[in-house]
């Protein structure tokens, strides 16, 4: 029996995107697989990325890194959202590299008495993670009991290619590297570039680029960088669901909670077996599904487990048919970018929010 909803993940597309990004960057590459590989599946994607040539894996949480280690993955892994009170000893024992963004984290790691592999995170202008006001004090630290593998930061506006802040951040990053060199600390891996910078700013590549969204075949920014297709990327996820019900309805029929919309004519409506519990945004407007070679728009509010689409008066669709929610758009389907825009959000959120009730099915084309 087929699923009511399913996400097909093309691991061949992920591999192709990764190979392109690595070749274009001219340096080593970290495949970012945090957040269940942006909703695509942590372990299968990590293994596919390594097979395609990824040099490192990047995760947000130490728990994600442990899951990879428990699956037999031995490649270098960096976890960068290391919270105070973390089980550093278990991470060190599992050979997981840890980000150090603050004095409290650094002191807690030192207190373990174990030789940790660390990457120093500096705040160069994102004003989010990394050292800023504590930097001068941190430089007075004793680094003899840790292995400083890397130093890194994160661009805030790499998708806006001509934005001056990008150059400012690059210069601040170089200054932080120089500050460490003065005290005899020379990290061998310096990394700054995210997907947008990897695609647009080769001068920021240093020793390693970190590719997340682009590896999954999605544009880092639709407005400033264009579509996935224009960037030469192949979207890896196709999301589809069954029509739970199909019914003929007269004109002026109210649809959904709050009766926010009414049918404009006699038509055929389809009830799609996914809702906001599965990751379909309740706020989505001007999105829909693809069936019978055309688009069918959402009508009414998205519910927890279902939403309604207007199939049109001449539709011959029937209950049990699958509709495509988003794909690569080659046949006219909605894309993750379009769904993101329709939800006043971005494609990142569309893939990462797809819930666990939707099975991932892995395909190799």
Could you read off the pLDDT of 193-227 as tens digits, one per residue? 999 999 999 999 999 999 999 999 999 999 999 99
Do 22 and 167 sit in the same domain of this protein?
yes
User: Within 13 Å and on the Cβ side, how many CA atoms surround 175?
Assistant: 13
Do 165 and 53 sit in the same domain of this protein?
yes
34 is catalytic: yes
Question: Does residue 144 contact residue 137 with C-beta atoms inside 8 Å?
Answer: no
Task: Give the separation between CA 133 and CA 151, rounded to whole angstroms.
Answer: 17
pTM of the model: 0.96
Q: Is residue 5 part of a domain?
A: no
Do 272 and 155 sit in the same domain of this protein?
no
| Total tally of structural domains belonging to the chain | 2
Q: Is residue 319 part of a domain?
A: yes
3-state secondary structure (DSSP) of residue 93: helix
> Is the predicted pLDDT of residue 263 greater than 60, yes or no?
yes
Lookup: tokens for 131: 């050292």
Q: Is residue 224 part of a domain?
A: no
Do 195 and 305 sit in the same domain of this protein?
no
- The residue from 107, 247, 257, 285 that is catalytic is 257
Task: Give the separation between CA 37 and CA 210, rounded to whole angstroms.
Answer: 13
Could you read off the pLDDT of 318-335 as tens digits, one per residue? 999 999 999 999 999 999
CA distances from 355 to 47, 204, 350, 358 (A): 22, 35, 10, 6
Q: What is the 3-state secondary structure (H, E, C) of 144-212?
A: CCCEEEEEECCCCCCCCCCCHHHHHHHHHHHHHHHHHHHCCCCCCEEECCCHHHHHHCHHHCCCEEEEC
Q: Is residue 250 part of a domain?
A: yes
Q: Is residue 312 part of a domain?
A: yes
Nearest to 302 by CA among 241, 264, 258: 258
Do 159 and 21 sit in the same domain of this protein?
yes
Do 257 and 345 sit in the same domain of this protein?
yes
Question: Does residue 223 contact residue 244 with C-beta atoms inside 8 Å?
Answer: no
3-state secondary structure (DSSP) of residue 115: coil
Could you read off the pLDDT of 35-56 as tens digits, one per residue? 999 999 999 999 999 999 999 9
Do 146 and 247 sit in the same domain of this protein?
no
So what's the pLDDT on residue 162?
93
88 is catalytic: no
Q: Which helix (H) or strand (E) holds 10?
A: strand 5-10
Nearest to 213 by CA among 362, 51, 348, 18: 348
CA distances from 322 to 91, 118, 181, 290, 319 (A): 44, 48, 59, 9, 9
> Is the predicted pLDDT of residue 1 greater than 60, yes or no?
no
Q: What is the mean pLDDT of residues 254-283?
A: 97
Q: Where residue 22 falls among pLDDT bands split at 50, 70, 90?
A: very high
Task: Give the separation between CA 348 and CA 159, rounded to whole angstroms.
Answer: 14
Question: Does residue 244 contact residue 5 with C-beta atoms inside 8 Å?
Answer: no
Q: Is residue 228 part of a domain?
A: no
Q: Is residue 207 part of a domain?
A: yes
> Looking at 154, 185, 216, which one is the last position of a domain?
216
Question: Does residue 80 contact residue 129 with C-beta atoms inside 8 Å?
Answer: yes
Q: What is the mean pLDDT of residues 148-168?
A: 97
> Is the predicted pLDDT of residue 186 greater than 70, yes or no?
yes
Q: What is the CATH number of the domain that holds 76?
A: 3.20.20.10
Structural domain boundaries enclosing 344: 237-363
Q: What is the mean pLDDT of residues 282-297?
A: 96
Lookup: tokens for 18: 């990764």
DSSP secondary structure, 298-315, as one string: B-S---SS-EEEE--TT-
DSSP secondary structure, 51-88, as one string: HTT-SEEEESSHHHHHHHHHTT--S-EEE----TT--H
Question: Does residue 143 contact residue 122 with C-beta atoms inside 8 Å?
Answer: no
So what's the pLDDT on residue 364?
84
> Looking at 161, 181, 216, which one is the last position of a domain?
216
So what's the pLDDT on residue 248?
98
Q: Which helix (H) or strand (E) holds 361?
A: strand 360-363
> Is the predicted pLDDT of residue 102 greater than 80, yes or no?
yes
Do 175 and 28 sit in the same domain of this protein?
yes
So what's the pLDDT on residue 6?
97
- The residue from 20, 22, 34, 242 that is catalytic is 34
Do 294 and 196 sit in the same domain of this protein?
no
- Cα 215 versus chain centre, distance: 9
Tokens 């069918």 -> residue: 296
Do 66 and 207 sit in the same domain of this protein?
yes
Do 54 and 196 sit in the same domain of this protein?
yes
Q: Is residue 24 part of a domain?
A: yes
Query: How many CB atoms lie under 10 A from the CB of residue 31?
Result: 26
Q: What is the dihedral of CA 327, 330, 334, 338, to 10 degrees?
A: 100
Do 152 and 264 sit in the same domain of this protein?
no
Q: What is the mean pLDDT of residues 74-91?
A: 97
> Looking at 181, 216, 251, which one is the last position of a domain?
216
Q: What is the mean pLDDT of residues 335-350?
A: 96
> Is the predicted pLDDT of residue 365 greater than 70, yes or no?
no
């Amino acid at each position: 029996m087929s699923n009511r909803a399913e996400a097909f993940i093309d691991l061949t597309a992920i591999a192709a995107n990764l190979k392109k990004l690595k070749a274009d960057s001219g340096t080593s590459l970290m495949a970012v697989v945090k957040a269940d590989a942006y909703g695509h599946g942590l372990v299968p994607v990590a293994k596919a990325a390594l097979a395609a040539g990824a040099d490192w894996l990047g995760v947000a949480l130490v728990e994600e890194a442990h899951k990879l280690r428990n699956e037999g993955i031995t490649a270098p892994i960096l976890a960068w959202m290391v919270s105070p009170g973390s089980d550093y000893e278990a991470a060190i024992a599992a050979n997981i590299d840890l980000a150090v963004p603050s004095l409290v984290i650094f002191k807690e790691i030192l207190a373990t008495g174990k030789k940790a592999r660390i990457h120093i995170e500096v705040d160069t202008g994102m004003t989010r993670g990394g050292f800023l006001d504590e930097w001068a004090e941190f430089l007075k630290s004793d680094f003899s009991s840790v292995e400083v593998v890397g130093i890194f930061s994160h661009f805030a506006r790499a998708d806006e290619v001509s934005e001056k802040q990008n150059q400012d951040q690059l210069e601040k990053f170089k200054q932080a590297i120089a500050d460490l060199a003065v005290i005899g600390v020379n990290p061998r891996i310096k990394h700054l570039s995210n997907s947008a910078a990897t695609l647009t700013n080769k001068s920021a590549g240093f020793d390693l680029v970190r590719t997340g969204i682009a590896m999954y075949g999605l544009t880092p920014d639709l407005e400033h960088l264009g579509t996935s297709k224009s960037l030469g990327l192949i979207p890896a996820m196709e999301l589809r669901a069954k029509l739970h019900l199909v019914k003929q309805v007269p004109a002026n029929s109210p649809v959904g909670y709050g009766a926010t919309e009414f049918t404009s004519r006699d038509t055929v409506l389809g009830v799609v077996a996914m809702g906001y519990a599965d990751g379909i945004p309740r706020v989505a407007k001007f999105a829909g599904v693809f069936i019978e070679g055309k688009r069918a728009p959402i009508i009414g509010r998205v519910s927890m487990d279902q939403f309604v689409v207007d199939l049109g008066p001449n539709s011959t669709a029937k209950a049990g048919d699958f509709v495509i929610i988003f794909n690569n758009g080659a046949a006219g389907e909605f894309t993750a970018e379009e769904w993101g825009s329709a939800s006043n959000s971005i494609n990142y959120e569309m893939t990462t929010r797809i819930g666990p009730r939707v099975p991932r099915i892995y395909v190799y084309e």
